[in-house]
């Protein structure tokens, strides 16, 4: 089915000027970028976005990292976009990621792993709504 998923190009990637190379990976996989903006999160916004991880030992480090530089938030549309994006990203830990994936090519570590992508339809809808209004989604 035609789906939408939410993506973040993380601080380690924007800092190294990899926004275009990462966007090209999405487009080459058949994902259409139907919304895109460069923003810098506040600590409160990062904590809210990653609230599901609040009890994890890496939560503080994760939030500090996510506010350390600008990020690019995007909505990707395509057939099975959620699964397809997860394939293109590769495993969370770049050491486990397959050849050709974004994380294998660009990620520095499990924390500085260049991209975030939604893991399920419900989280995709929530994450898109957190960052974008309906008017900003242009298929």
Known catalytic residues are: 116
Burial label for 107, CB within 10 Å (0-12, 13-18, 19+), is buried
Report the distance separating Cα 13 and Cα 47, nearest Å: 20
Q: Looking only at residues 42 through 81 of this chain, which bind ligand CMP when binding is defined by CB under 6 A?
A: 53, 58, 61-62
Size of the site for ligand CMP (CB under 6 A): 9
Tell me whether residue 61 or residue 126 sits nearer to ligand CMP (CB atom).
Answer: 61
Report the distance separating Cα 57 and Cα 99, nearest Å: 29
111 near ligand CMP (CB under 6 A): yes
Least distance in Å: CB of 62 to ligand CMP? 5
Question: What's the DSSP call for residue 112?
Answer: S
Least distance in Å: CB of 28 to ligand CMP? 21
Handedness of CA 128, 91, 63, 29 (dihedral sign): negative
91 near ligand CMP (CB under 6 A): no
Collapse the DSSP code of 33 into the 3-class scheme (helix H, G, I; strand E, B; otherwise coil) and give the result.
strand
The verdict on whether residue 103 carries a ligand-binding annotation is yes
Q: Residue 137: which of 81, 69, 63, 67 has the closest Cα?
A: 81
Tell me whether residue 11 or residue 78 sits nearer to ligand CMP (CB atom).
Answer: 11
The verdict on whether residue 113 carries a ligand-binding annotation is yes
> Which residues does the annotation place in the binding site for ATP?
10, 58, 86, 92, 103, 113
Footprint of ligand CMP (CB under 6 A): 53, 58, 61-62, 92, 110-111, 113, 116
């Amino acid at each position: 089915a035609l789906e939408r998923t939410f993506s973040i190009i993380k601080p380690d990637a924007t800092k190294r000027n990899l926004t275009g190379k990462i966007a090209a990976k999405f487009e080459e996989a058949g994902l259409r970028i139907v919304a895109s903006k460069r923003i810098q999160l506040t600590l409160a916004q990062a904590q809210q976005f990653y609230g599901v991880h609040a009890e994890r030992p890496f939560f503080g480090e994760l939030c500090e990292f996510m506010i350390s530089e600008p990020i690019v938030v995007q909505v990707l549309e395509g057939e099975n976009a959620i699964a397809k994006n997860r394939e293109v990203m590769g495993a969370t830990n770049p050491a486990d990621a397959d050849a050709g994936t974004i994380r294998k090519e660009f990620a520095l570590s499990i924390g500085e792993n260049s991209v975030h992508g939604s893991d399920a339809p419900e989280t995709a809808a929530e994450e898109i709504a957190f960052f974008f209004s309906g008017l900003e989604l242009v298929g």
